[in-house]
Structure 1
C-alpha cells in the first residue's frame, strides 16, 4: 500500500503477495538455506512450511470453481439491441485476440516446441489458458494436465499467467500514456489525475458505497453465509452435470473424454441455471449481486496468491526457452491486435475500449477493467458497458470457459490440425465481423 513504485504499476496486492510467498518459500529462500542447514532443517522450506504448501497447492483448483460459479448469479440481462450495438464491436475484438492466441500457440508448438524440445503439441494451448484464462483457469486445469501426461504444463501455465498479468498492467499503462500523447484518448488528457490515495488501492471516504446488502435477517442466517450457500449449490449443480455427462459418455460411447474436463466451466453453467431459477422465483430479491462479487473477489485474490506461491521455478527453468517462446508469441499477438485491429474494429473511443481487452487478453478481467478505469476514470465512454456486455458471450467459451477447458484434451485426442483449423475459422469470423461490419457502423450510444 505504501510502495510508490508498485502503486504506479497498479499491481494487484494478490500478485505482490504471491511473489512474496514464492520468494520466502521452498522454491527460493528455502532452496538457498538448504545449502547451509541441510534438507531436514526447519528452514529447508523457508518461512512457508511444508504443511502450508500442501494446503495452498489445493486452493487454486477449489477456488476457481467459486469464481466461475459466481459469474452469472445476481445478474440481469440488458436489452439485446443495446448489447448488440455497444458490446458487438468489443466482442469481435476480444474474439479475435482470444482465438488468435490458439492459432499462434499451436503454430509455435508444431514448428518449434515439438520438433526441437520434444514437448506435447497441446502445449500450444497454454498461451490462451495462461493469458486469457489467468491463474485460476491454469490452476483449475492442473488435474487435466496430469491426466494428459505432462504435469509440468501447470507450472508453465501459471508462469504464463504471471507474465501476462505483469505485461497487461505495465504495457497497458504505457499504451494509455502513448494514447494521451498521440491524441488518441478522448476522455483524459493525462494519466496523472489519480490521487495518491487512489493509487494506494484505498477507496476515498466520499466514494465508498455499499459492498453488499443485508437480504436476510442475521438471526436466521447471515447474508454472507446465505450467498455462499447459493454459490455452493451452483457448484453442486455443475458437479452433477459433469458426472452425468461423464456417465452417459462412458455408457453410450465407451470413451472417456469428459474425464479430462475440469469442474469449473460446468460450475459456471450451474450458476447460470441457478440464476434462471432465482430470476423466476426470487420475488423478495434475496440475491444481492454486490455480495456475490465480494465472494468472487475474495476467492480470486486467494487463488492468485496460492497459485503463484506454489509454482515450481525449477520446472520453468527446465523449460525456460519454450516458456519464453510462448510468452513472446502471446504478447506480440496482443500488441499487434491493439495497434492494428483496435482502431479499425472499434468505431469510437477505440483506445479506451481496446486497452480493456488488451488487459484481459494478456492478464485477467480485473486487469482490463483497471486499465479502462485509468483511461476513462469517470466512465464517459461506452468502454466499461461494452466490456461487460461482451463478457456475456465471451466468458462461456474463451477466457476460462468451455473452449479453454477443453482445448488441451481436444488437441491431445484428435491432434493439432482439427483444432488449428477451427481456431483459424473462429479468428477469421472475428476479424471479418470487426473490420467489415462493426468497424464500419456508425456508433449508437445514448
Structure 2
C-alpha cells in the first residue's frame, strides 16, 4: 500500500508542479516520466527519502501492459485508418523496429560473442515498444541466460525516454528555427471544446466505470488461462514456454478484439464505453510509466554498463537520424510534425510521441496524430513476425549453436528490414528523394 501511495503521490505532485511551473507543459515532457524520475531520485537508491518495493513495481508494469492492450482492443475501431499517411506510418514503425533489432544484435555480436542476444534485442523492445514489453520479454529471457533481464529491459526503456526528451526538444527547436513546421498549427488558446459523452449508470446497476474494469478483468482471466494452457503444452521446451508469458499482452489484445463483437450481442448492447475505456488505458499508461522508471536498479546498470551504453547510444543516434531523414520522403503533409512524433514514438511510447508533438502542434491539428494512432494498429501485421518469430528464434539459438546461429539470425533480421523497405516503397508511399545524403530534401 505504501508503494502504491508513493506512485499516486508522485503523479499528483508532478501535476501540481506543472500547474505552478507552466514551462513544464510547454517543454513537452510527459509528467508520468517526470514522476518516475523523481521516484528514482528520492528513493533509497539515491536520496533514500522513502523505500519502494521494486518487485511490486515490476509486477505492476508487467500486468499493466496487458491491461493497456486489452482496453485498447475492446474499443470500437475508428474510421479513417486507411489514409496514405497512416499506411506510411505503419511501415515506418515496422522498419524502425527491424533496424533497431539489427543494430542491437550487431553490437552484441561484435562486442562479445558470448553476450546474451537479449542485451541487443531489448533495444527495439525498450525504445519502440516501451517499458512494459521490455520488462516482460527481459523477464522471460532470464531463463535462457540473460542476467537480470527484467531490469535490463527497464533500463533500456528508461534510456529511451531520456533520448525522447534530451534529443527530442532540440529537434523541435531546430525545426522551428529552420521554418520546417506546418503553418497554422499554433494554439488559438481556445483549446478543445468538444463535449465528450460519458456513459450514465442505470438505477440499480453497477457503475459504468466498474463495468469497464470488470470486462478488462474477464479478458485478462481468459488471457491467463490461454497462456497457462500454452505453457503446459510447451513444457518440454522451457525457453519457448517462458516466451509465451512474455507475449501475454498480444494474447490479451487478441482476446479483447474477439470479445468485442460478442459483447455487442448482449441484451441492451455492449457494456463497453469507448470514452471510459480510454480513461482506463490512460490511467494504466501513467501508472506503469511512473512505476517503470522508479523500479530501475542502478546496480544492474553499473554491472552491465558497456553493452547497454553502446546499444542505446548507437540505437538512439540511428533513431534520430532516420526519423528526420525519412520524414519528407514518407509524408507529403506536415512532414516535420511526423518526424517529431515518429522520433518520440520510436524512443518511448505513443503517449510520449504525442506529448512531444504537442510542443509544435498544441491542438493536434496536423494529420500526424491520426497517422500515428492508425499506423500503430496497422503495424501489428509487420511487428508480429518479429515478436513471435525472428526475435524469439534468435534468443532460443543462444543455448544451441552460438554465435554462428547469431550471425545467421542477424542476416535474417537484415533481410526482413530490407523487405519492409521494399514493401514500403511499393505500397506505403515511401519515396527516395535525392540527394539521399540530405536530411531534408527540397
The reply to whether TM is greater than 0.5 is: yes
Alignment of 1:17-416 (within 5 A): 17-30=35-48, 46-48=49-51, 52-78=53-79, 83-112=82-111, 114-115=112-113, 118-188=114-184, 207=193, 209-210=195-196, 213-217=198-202, 219-250=204-235, 254-256=236-238, 257-261=240-244, 262=246, 263-279=248-264, 284-395=269-380, 398=383, 403-404=386-387, 409-414=392-397, 415-416=405-406
The whole-number CA distance in structure 2 between the counterparts of 1:306 and 1:185 is: 34
Q: Hey, what does 1:37 align to over in structure 2?
A: none
| Structure 1 portions without partners, runs of 5+ | 31-45, 196-203, 442-446
CA contact (8 A) 2:141 2:242 kept: no
TM-score by length of 2: 0.82
Contact 2:139–2:148 under 8 Å retained in 1? no
Aligned with 1:424 (options 384, 394, 414): 414
Q: Which moved more, 1:124-133 or 1:58-67?
A: 58-67
- What does the per-residue CA deviation read over 1:72-116, in whole Å, with 9 as the maximum and x for residues that have no partner? 21222536xx6153311111222221111001111111111x24x
Deviations 1:200-257, CA, capped at 9 Å, x for gaps: xxxx8874743x622542631011110001111221222233233334445xxx4341
Take 1:279 and 1:425, find their aligned partners in 2: how far apart are those partners? 42
Indicate the larger mover: 403-412 or 170-179: 403-412
Mapped partners of 1:393, 1:86: distance in 2: 11
Determine if contact 1:344/1:434 at 8 Å carries over to the other structure. no
Change in CA separation of 1:140 and 1:187 when aligned onto 2, cut-off 3 Å: farther
C-alpha displacement at 1:408, in angstroms?
5.3
Distance (Å, rounded) in 2 between the aligned partners of 1:305 and 1:53: 12
Contact 2:390/2:413 (8 A) holds in 1? no
2:204 and 2:227 mapped to 1: Cα distance? 36
C-alpha displacement of 1:181: 2.4
> What is the aligned length?
403
Unmatched 5+ residue regions in structure 2? 1-17, 398-404, 433-442
Q: Distance in 1 between matches of 2:146 and 2:291?
A: 21
Distance 2:388 2:40 in 1: 26
Shift of 1:292: 0.9
The alignment yields a C-alpha RMSD, in angstroms, of 2.8
- C-alpha distance in 2, partners of 1:299/1:158? 17
C-alpha distance in 2, partners of 1:47/1:194?
Answer: 43
Change (3 A) 1:276 1:372: farther
**8 Å Cα contact 2:69-2:249 kept in structure 1:** yes
1:130–1:137 CA contact under 8 A, matched in 2: yes
Determine helix, strand or coil for the equivalent of 1:23: helix
Aligned in 2, Cα 1:152/1:397: closer, same or farther, shift over 3 Å? farther
How far apart in 2 are the matches of 1:78 and 1:20? 40
